[in-house]
Amino acid sequence: MSNVENKQKIGTLVGGSLSSGLEIRLDSEYSVENLYVGDGITIEGREKRYFGIISDILLQSSDSTLRSFPPNSSDFFVTSILSGTSAFTILKISLQLAVSLDANLDEFDQLGLDSTSFGPATTVPPHFSPVYRATSKDYTEIFGSEDENHGWIGTPKGREEEVKINLDLEQLIKRSNGVFGKTGTGKTFLTRVLLSEIINKDLGVNLIFDMHRDYSDSVNDESGNKINSLKQLYPSKVEVMSLGKSLTKGQVRPDAEIMISYSDLEVQDIEILSETLNLTSAGLLAAHALDRSYGEKWLGIFLNMEPSEDKENKNSLSAAAERTGQLYTVLHTLWRRLEILKKFEFLQQNPAEESIRRIFASLERGKHVILDFGSHQSNETAYILVTSLITRRIYERWAEQDNQLIIAIEEAHKFLNSEVASQTIFGTIAREMRKWKVTLLVVDQRPSGIDAEVLSQLGTKFIHQLEDNRDIDSILAGSSRDLRGVVSTLAPKQQALVIGHALPMPVVIDVRSNDTLTNFINPETTTTEIINIERDNNDLFGEKNE
Amino acid sequence: MKNQNPIAEIIESSTKSIIVQCYELYQAPKLGTLIKTQDDPSIIGIVYNVFTEPLDPSRRPIARGPFQNEPEKLYEENPHLSLLFRTQAQIFILGHVDQMNSYSYELPLLPAKIHTGICLLNQEEVASFTKTRAFLELLIEGLDIITDEIFSISIRRISGYHSDPEKFLYDTGKDVANNFPHDQQKLISLLRKLGRGPINE
């Protein structure tokens, strides 16, 4: 097959198993320092070609005495000869895909036909099969080319060649997905790339709860480079709505201000806040009792009550305690802890406009909506409350829609932890998958805080560097154990392991960035096209400060 | 094969090794030198032992006294001494020239004939015979006979006939290492000897 050209043999298959990984002995001529965990390799069997990734690199020796009596490290002649012969490198390979080797593949290539059909590797290549480092052509065969459904998200880790990893976005948005990684690893950056690609290809409609104003307005990265917001990139496709009064600073003016009626809040919205506001189970029971007794406007009425034990006063907590059969002390504690909601000016008894209907109308028209938390940015209580409320309302009405809705939420463990996941709308969406054409894009730094069942339902996971073993265990539950080593060797920034539904095999990527663009320009591209590409790139990622 | 002048003559022959008697006393090929027989097929081997002994093994030489500081003078004054001794060399066989007139790195199926002359391989022949590392196979097999020291001297001497002696030593070292998976200390000792560098003469 033509693929044999430019291939560099790096080793020979010497053992292992499909479940625990194959073992490749590295050729002595090939430097181990040119390889890394997560790198792609191909193995030529007799009947099939296999694709896998390096999950671990081991230094071994043919004779145990070499460990006890190693040669003098200053004797370069001896050490350089022993290195790669008696003392050798073993690569552990997590086998992923297999494709039949057909003698006539060249003819298929010449005719431009798709001669390959990848499938999961269900067997292993025979002993002593030659192993090659995956070439750019291999990656293109596996991940496809950029088209109306495939979006470019990055380059294979450490590769400088013209290799693009293209994600099947149509498959991606059919299921809920997650972007994980500790703080500062580039979760928001990758999320922006994903959302941007979905918007660019018109594959679905996004509702983004922008807690930290990362997507609604331009931001500066750590190097001081300005990064344009999604609104600036796609002004006609994206609407920014501000929660309450919008901030006067910033370059993007919101298209609408969101006000929420107390009557929109239900007890389950309060339940999600139980951890944040330190609500007790007795308090939550009292909230249910208030709901039953006062109806849908219970919260507004409750917060306007006077914290008094005067039973004669009908607007006192004492009177409410008698009416609902709750203890005064329980109601008083609940009242005090919910009092913080009165500070949220976006919560009103009778707002002029039904804001949730406004959001729905925009989404229905195919507009992507970014909910900017404005002056409430980084306010956890406001974020949890509003995100939960709006998502529930939108979800209830979306059943009739044809368009796929993707809801992007940050701090996902607040909504999807084991205690509340079964009760919140987010748990429902994550479990029901594509049934209602609503999926989640969860962004979180603590995947171990997310309910295991919800994690298992995520279609595609983008995993940045994680340090806590519990986080790594929970995110890789159900995946090959080999991938653990891959996660632990991710770079601190802009590098992610991508596993799941939207791509044929796991891959470690350097997330697409300004710097990598010039490497991907086709030699046949004209100067005008290059200028256009660079302009688009600068629009997306901001201009570089030289 | 018979154009070059022989320097010695086979006096004992087997399919694995040869003993030659040198035409000139003390004029033996040096350790690690590649030689060939003037036979057909020509057999190629390496000198792994050189020794001089009396023609009559029952008449052992006796010491001539502490006053004899110049042996050459002694031989001049007693010319019959040169006729009483003989210098011999032991050759370990590394291959032969096959019927297609190319090198075969296998033992000959029959030994060389007694009284066949032997001569040294010239520079081109050494480089050509050791172009592939196949010549190492029989050499490594014979390590017990030829010893590590002679092995390394041979390789270092051969390296001097190649355009890049250091690279030749390194590449050969790699091949040798692949043949010693379970005796690393012997290998390290062998490699240290190889690491002394090429022998150029």
Residue A89 forms beta bridges with which residues? A59
Give the whole-angstrom CA distance, residue B93 versus residue B15.
8
Distance of CA B139 to the CA centre of its chain: 11
pLDDT at position A129: 96
Identity of the residue numbered A448? S
Q: How far is CA B152 from CA A509, B34, B125, B167, in A?
A: 49, 14, 20, 15
Identity of the residue numbered A293? S
Q: What is the DSSP string of A418-450?
A: TTTTTTSHHHHHHHHGGGGSEEEEEEES-GGGS
Per-residue confidence at B104, pLDDT binned at 50, 70, 90? very high
Q: Are the beta carbons of A86 and B191 separated by less than 8 Å?
A: no
CA-wise closest residue to A165 among A497, A516, A509, A428: A509
Three-state secondary-structure class, residue A240: strand
Give the whole-angstrom CA distance, residue A362 versus residue A371.
12
Residue scoring higher pLDDT (B198 or A399):
B198
Distance from CA of A540 to the nearest CA of B (A): 52
pLDDT at position A523: 38
Three-state secondary-structure class, residue A132: strand
Identity of the residue numbered B73? K
pLDDT at position B15: 94
Distance of CA A408 to the CA centre of its chain: 9
Q: At residue A299, what are phi and psi to the nearest 5 degrees?
A: -70, -45
| Residues in contact with A83: Cβ distance below 8 Å, sequence separation at least 6, in sequence order | A28
| Residues in contact with A283: Cβ distance below 8 Å, sequence separation at least 6, in sequence order | A274, A330, A333, A334, A337
CB B194 within 8 A of CB B176: yes
Give the whole-angstrom CA distance, residue A366 versus residue A361.
9
Q: At residue A334, what are phi and psi to the nearest 5 degrees?
A: -60, -45
pLDDT at position A17: 93
CB A254 within 8 A of CB A247: no
pLDDT at position A266: 85
CB B18 within 8 A of CB B93: yes
Give the whole-angstrom CA distance, residue A416 versus residue A394.
18
pLDDT at position A102: 67
Three-state secondary-structure class, residue A92: strand
Identity of the residue numbered B32? G
From chain B, pick out residues whose CB is under 8 angstroms from the CB of A61.
184
pLDDT at position A406: 93
In this structure, what token pair is assigned to residue A526?
A: 């004209």
Q: Are the beta carbons of B194 and A63 separated by less than 8 Å?
A: no
Domain boundaries, chain A: 2-143, 262-343
Average pLDDT per run of 10 along chain A, which is 546 residues long?
64 93 92 89 93 92 86 90 90 92 54 60 94 88 85 84 84 92 89 91 91 79 74 88 72 81 85 85 90 87 84 82 87 89 84 81 92 82 88 85 89 81 80 76 91 88 92 84 82 90 89 50 44 59 52
Is B127 an 8 Å CB contact of chain A?
no
CB A507 within 8 A of CB A495: no
CB A52 within 8 A of CB A171: no
CB A331 within 8 A of CB A341: no
pLDDT at position A538: 62
CB A230 within 8 A of CB A223: no
The mean per-residue pLDDT over the stretch B124-140 comes to 93
Is A86 an 8 Å CB contact of chain B?
yes
Phi-psi region of B118 (alpha: psi -120 to 50; beta: other; left: phi over 0): beta
Identity of the residue numbered A138? D
- A62, A69, A77 ranked by CB distance to B181: nearest: A62
pLDDT at position B103: 94
Give the whole-angstrom CA distance, residue B156 versus residue B34.
12
Sign of CA dihedral B61, B64, B69, B72: negative
pLDDT at position A249: 63
pLDDT per position as a tens digit, A264-288: 888 888 888 888 888 888 999 999 9
Give the whole-angstrom CA distance, residue A458 versus residue A442.
9
Say if strands B8-13 and B17-22 run parallel, antiparallel, or are unpaired.
antiparallel
Q: Are the beta carbons of A77 and B180 separated by less than 8 Å?
A: no
Q: How far is CA B103 from CA B94, B95, B96, B188, in A?
A: 10, 7, 6, 30
Distance from CA of B143 to the nearest CA of A (A): 19
Identity of the residue numbered A59? L
Highest mean pLDDT of the ranges A251-260, A312-321, B74-83, B167-176: B167-176
pLDDT per position as a tens digit, B51-62: 999 999 898 988
CA-wise closest residue to B89 among B200, B9, B4, B199: B9
Three-state secondary-structure class, residue A18: coil
Residue in chain B lying closest to A82 (CA)? B177
Q: Buried b vs exposed e over A343-378: b needs ≥16 C-beta within 10 Å?
A: ebebbeeebeeebbebbbebbbeebbbbbbbbbbbe
CB A173 within 8 A of CB A198: yes
| Residues in contact with A163: Cβ distance below 8 Å, sequence separation at least 6, in sequence order | A136, A139, A140, A155, A156
Per-residue confidence at B127, pLDDT binned at 50, 70, 90? very high
Give the whole-angstrom CA distance, residue A39 versus residue A163.
13
Give the whole-angstrom CA distance, residue A441 versus residue A463.
13
pLDDT at position A481: 72
Is B66 an 8 Å CB contact of chain A?
no
Q: Which DSSP symbol is given to A374?
A: G
Q: What is the DSSP string of A340-357?
A: GGGG-TTEESS-SS-HHH
In this structure, what token pair is assigned to residue A83?
A: 């290195």
CB A385 within 8 A of CB A276: no
CB A57 within 8 A of CB A92: yes
CB atoms < 10 A from the CB of A236, how many? 6
Phi-psi region of B17 (alpha: psi -120 to 50; beta: other; left: phi over 0): beta
Three-state secondary-structure class, residue A391: helix
ipTM for this model: 0.81
Lowest mean pLDDT among A165-169, A522-526, B75-79, B100-104: A522-526
Residue scoring higher pLDDT (A392 or B91):
B91
From chain A, pick out residues whose CB is under 8 angstroms from the CB of B195.
75, 77-78
Give the whole-angstrom CA distance, residue A261 versus residue A347.
6
pLDDT per position as a tens digit, B4-17: 789 999 999 999 99
Q: Which DSSP symbol is given to A25?
A: E
Residue in chain A lying closest to B169 (CA)? A77
Classify residue B113 by burial, with Cβ atoms within 10 Å: 0-12, 13-18, 19+.
exposed
Residues 165-194 (B) with a CB less than 8 A from some CB of A:
169-170, 173-174, 176-178, 180-185, 187-188, 191-192, 194
CA-wise closest residue to B44 among B115, B121, B99, B101: B121
From chain B, pick out residues whose CB is under 8 angstroms from the CB of A69.
184-185, 188
Q: Are the beta carbons of B191 and A84 separated by less than 8 Å?
A: no
* Mutation choice for A interface testing from B133, B169, B187 by most A CBs within 10 A: B187
Is A66 an 8 Å CB contact of chain B?
yes
CB A344 within 8 A of CB A300: no
